[in-house]
Amino acid sequence: MTIVLADADASFRDRLKKRLEKITGVKVVGESSGTEETTAMILNRKPNIAILNSSLQGGRTIEVLQHIK
């Protein structure tokens, strides 16, 4: 299972990534803090799951969801 993490707090992303990658078969394929970067990462890497904070740098998470829909 592949995952993209998006949160403005880099230390939170790092802690979450370490925990997730302890799960067999899980791989974090990208991390970002902003809406544009997150949108591009999801569209390019096509993860199975995207974990998004409700607010990201440069806009709102709903904008990411609208673009990847």
Q: Does 13 fall in a domain?
A: yes
pLDDT band at 27 (very low <50, low <70, confident <90, very high): very high
pLDDT for residue 62? 81
Does the structure show a pLDDT above 80 at 55?
no
pTM of the predicted model, to two decimals? Answer: 0.87
Q: Would 55 be classed as within a structural domain?
A: no
Q: Report helix, strand or coil for 15.
A: helix
**4 found inside a domain:** no
- Answer yes or no: is 24 within a domain: yes
* Nearest of 28, 1, 34, 2 to residue 15 by alpha carbon: 28
In a domain, 62, yes or no: no
pLDDT value of position 59: 77
In a domain, 33, yes or no: yes
> Is residue 63 one of the residues assigned to a domain?
no
